Amino acid sequence: MSRTPLLIAGAFDAADKARLEAAHPSAYVAGPEDMASLDNETRASVRAIAYKGHKPLGGEAMDHFPNLGLIANFGVGYDAIDVNAASARGVKVTNTPDVLNDDVADLAVALLLAQCRNMIAGDARARTGQWAREGELPLNRKASGSSVGIVGLGRIGREIADRLAAFKMDIHYHARSEKQTPGWTYYADVVSLAQAVDFLVIALVGGPATEKYVTRDAIEALGPRGVIVNISRGTTIDEAALLDALETGKIAGAGLDVFLNEPNIDPRFAALDNVVLQPHQGSGTVETRRAMALLQLENVTAHLEGQPLITPVN
Amino acid sequence: MSRTPLLIAGAFDAADKARLEAAHPSAYVAGPEDMASLDNETRASVRAIAYKGHKPLGGEAMDHFPNLGLIANFGVGYDAIDVNAASARGVKVTNTPDVLNDDVADLAVALLLAQCRNMIAGDARARTGQWAREGELPLNRKASGSSVGIVGLGRIGREIADRLAAFKMDIHYHARSEKQTPGWTYYADVVSLAQAVDFLVIALVGGPATEKYVTRDAIEALGPRGVIVNISRGTTIDEAALLDALETGKIAGAGLDVFLNEPNIDPRFAALDNVVLQPHQGSGTVETRRAMALLQLENVTAHLEGQPLITPVN
């Protein structure tokens, strides 16, 4: 059996998988649960894993590969990977930051506008002939000129804020520390931020440190005119509290690209007419997924050739 | 019978109609077709018409009112009113510009993003459980960093361009003359503009001068990656050519708030999966419709009190 320095793990697009296979001798598994079934020789030869997926990839899986030096994640969010376990084993982790910032920010703005302007119902009304039979929709809500609170002013959060500033919105934000952002207003906690704004956009990283970071109290502080947009991770908000607030009118609505237990999302979402839902497609464009795949491959190649990693996270 | 200096004509919202009635003694008709049925004394006393609607209001209707001095339109687009006929009779026309620019520009950007990111299908996929059963949507298309052509760089066109510039888009435009817009590229005709860009956003005024202004040639010049957004009037584009191009893949898609024969729009639109449709709700927010109503009333009051009109168009 030939040496296979690369293990490709996850539900890769065919073209991305073929590109990895063409670049390096490789083996393939569908996910972490299949890693144990690889033969000993393959496991011993694996030096890098190209990973794609949201299933947990922990120390036990890493221990199958005595010569593992890199887990190259497809995606900016690497919360599926136990980075502490990797670091403890001398395994580097890389992600694909920046190349997806534009797409995720675009979808955040689009979710905000689509919720405000009732566009899902609008499309159905025009498309089904309801417009002719029943007349116009109830008036919806102005977006421009509102105030927005960004939770997490990292690279994606800044892209969102820059776009919304062009809609003449007042920019407020919460982050671990105050940033150099003239004209934008900093809040040390999410509840104070939520009290100050019409729209709350969550742009946190995922992982244990941000679990339920947007609490029930923060959701309720937003108030009955408030709209929440989440393009980060389902874990970053108290989802049960969000559903309660949406069902009881404690907030006005939400635009959501991320959920707990994707793709088996809570069926309570389906019954809501004040939300716009998307199937976790923040970075889901042809252009960006290709850029992410190329950056993942660059990291793999750098490691296998002994060059510095492009985008290490540990 | 008391004098009724104001005639309220059209499908007004109850609160807006009540506000007009509270401000001035008035009569009411549903539309231009009912004006002839008013009694002679009422007709003679009418000095201003507060108009709302898209039905033609021409010289014949105006001639029912010998003392008519003003037609105050609800809306920035006054193409339903024969302004030449009004001018010939010494009748002034006002509209409600500017107060709706933000909303219409917001919806233009939202239509562009929603078409690009396949958001109508995305909402259905997350909402119906199809996401869990059938997996992710096909990858969609990046919006940021594209090139956009604005057809008509008036007040609304500029608001659209300012927003899209924050999405790092190259701004190209066609207008009657070149404007002072550093960094934006002027085209003397729509075909050349369409050839140069990914997205074409129509922000023309309506009326006979712009009928089918975006021709079949311009639509086809946009090419198979091209997307058209129209938030102006259904009349400003060759709608039959647009439907042909959408059905045959000569362009990639469209985001449309306006159509011929609203609300009885062409049923060919309903069969398309590459369009996002809205029921002419560009200015349809609570905040903006109220501002439009107040501006219409200000114009009526100014005329009846012999003061200068706020927003005359002739």
Task: Compute the distance between CA of residue A35 and CA of residue A25 in angstroms, rounded to an integer.
Answer: 17
Task: Compute the distance between CA of residue B136 and CA of residue B142 in angstroms, rounded to an integer.
Answer: 17
Task: Compute the distance between CA of residue A189 and CA of residue A176 in angstroms, rounded to an integer.
Answer: 9
Contacts with A253 from chain B: Cβ below 8 Å: none
Question: Nearest-CA distance from A297 to chain B in Å?
Answer: 20
Contacts with B288 from chain A: Cβ below 8 Å: 142
- Tell me, what's the pLDDT at A2? 53
Place of tokens 């999405």: B167
Residue B198 touches partner A, C-beta closer than 8 Å:
no
Residue B162 neighbours by CB distance under 10 Å: 14
Of A106, A113, A139, the CB nearest to B286: A139
Amino acid at A287: E
Q: What is the rounded average pLDDT of the residues A9-37?
A: 96
Task: Compute the distance between CA of residue A114 and CA of residue B1 in angstroms, rounded to an integer.
Answer: 49
Are the C-beta atoms of residues A99 and A288 closer than 8 Å to each other? yes
Quick one: which of A185, A179, A202, A312 has its CA closest to A255? A202
Are the C-beta atoms of residues B205 and B156 closer than 8 Å to each other? no
B274 DSSP 8-state letter: S
| Backbone conformation region of residue A122, classed left if phi is above 0, alpha if psi is from -120 to 50, else beta | alpha
Cβ contacts of B52 within 8 Å, gap of 6 or more: B9, B10, B11, B12, B73, B74, B75
Residue B278 touches partner A, C-beta closer than 8 Å:
yes
Is the pLDDT reported for residue B285 higher than 60?
yes
Residue A260 touches partner B, C-beta closer than 8 Å:
no
CA atoms within 13 A on the CB side of B312: 13
Of A165, A265, A284, the CB nearest to B137: A284
Quick one: which of A299, A200, A302, A216 has its CA closest to A256? A200
Question: Nearest-CA distance from A305 to chain B in Å?
Answer: 32
Task: Compute the distance between CA of residue B134 and CA of residue A55 in angstroms, rounded to an integer.
Answer: 18
Which is catalytic among the residues B233, B239, B289, B298?
B233
Cβ contacts of B126 within 8 Å, gap of 6 or more: A259, A265, A269, A277, A278, A279
Record the tokens describing residue A58, joined without a space: 């922990």
Contacts with B129 from chain A: Cβ below 8 Å: 267, 270
Burial (Cβ within 10 Å: 0-12, 13-18, ≥19) of residue B307: exposed
A33 among known catalytic residues: no
Identify the band that residue B158 occupies on the pLDDT scale cut at 50, 70 and 90: very high
Question: Nearest-CA distance from A158 to chain B in Å?
Answer: 12
Is the pLDDT reported for residue B147 higher than 70?
yes
Residue B270 touches partner A, C-beta closer than 8 Å:
yes
B301 DSSP 8-state letter: H
Amino acid at A241: A
pLDDT tens, residue by residue, B46-70: 999 999 999 999 999 999 999 999 9
Residue A284 touches partner B, C-beta closer than 8 Å:
yes
Element (H, E) at B73: strand B70-73
Question: Nearest-CA distance from A126 to chain B in Å?
Answer: 5
Contact B136 A284 (CB under 8 A): yes
Q: What is the rounded average pLDDT of the residues B215-240?
A: 98
Contacts with A135 from chain B: Cβ below 8 Å: 263
- Tell me, what's the pLDDT at A1? 41
- Tell me, what's the pLDDT at B2? 52
Of B118, B123, B279, the CB nearest to A137: B279
pLDDT above 70 coverage of chain B, percent: 99
CA nearest B279 in A: which residue? A126
Round the average pLDDT of chain B to a whole number and report it: 96
pLDDT tens, residue by residue, A142-177: 999 999 999 999 999 999 999 999 999 999 999 999
Of A102, A125, A128, the CB nearest to B142: A102
Contact B265 A132 (CB under 8 A): yes
Cis peptide bond N-terminal to B263, omega within 30:
yes
Residue B144 touches partner A, C-beta closer than 8 Å:
yes
Residue A266 touches partner B, C-beta closer than 8 Å:
no
Place of tokens 């979402």: A269
| Residue A161 backbone dihedrals phi, psi, to 5 degrees | -65, -40
CA nearest A132 in B: which residue? B263
Domains and CATH numbers, chain A: 6-97+287-304 (3.40.50.720), 101-277 (3.40.50.720)
Contact B277 A123 (CB under 8 A): yes
Burial (Cβ within 10 Å: 0-12, 13-18, ≥19) of residue B155: middle
A305 among known catalytic residues: no
Q: Which of A54, A103, A111, A117 should we substitute to test contact with B (largest number of B Cβ atoms within 10 Å)?
A: A117
Contact A140 B105 (CB under 8 A): no
Contacts with B141 from chain A: Cβ below 8 Å: 285-287
pLDDT tens, residue by residue, A256-310: 999 999 999 999 999 999 999 999 999 999 999 999 999 999 999 999 999 999 9
Question: Nearest-CA distance from A173 to chain B in Å?
Answer: 19
A233 among known catalytic residues: yes
B312 DSSP 8-state letter: B
Contacts with B110 from chain A: Cβ below 8 Å: 110, 113-114, 117, 119
Question: Nearest-CA distance from A247 to chain B in Å?
Answer: 15
pLDDT tens, residue by residue, A49-73: 999 999 999 999 999 999 999 999 9
Contact map slice: B 34-53 vs A, CB within 8 A: none
Is the pLDDT reported for residue B1 higher than 50?
no
Task: Compute the distance between CA of residue B307 and CA of residue B314 in angstroms, rounded to an integer.
Answer: 16
Residue B135 touches partner A, C-beta closer than 8 Å:
yes
Contact A286 B142 (CB under 8 A): yes
Instruction: Considering only CA atoms, give the Rg of chain B.
Output: 22
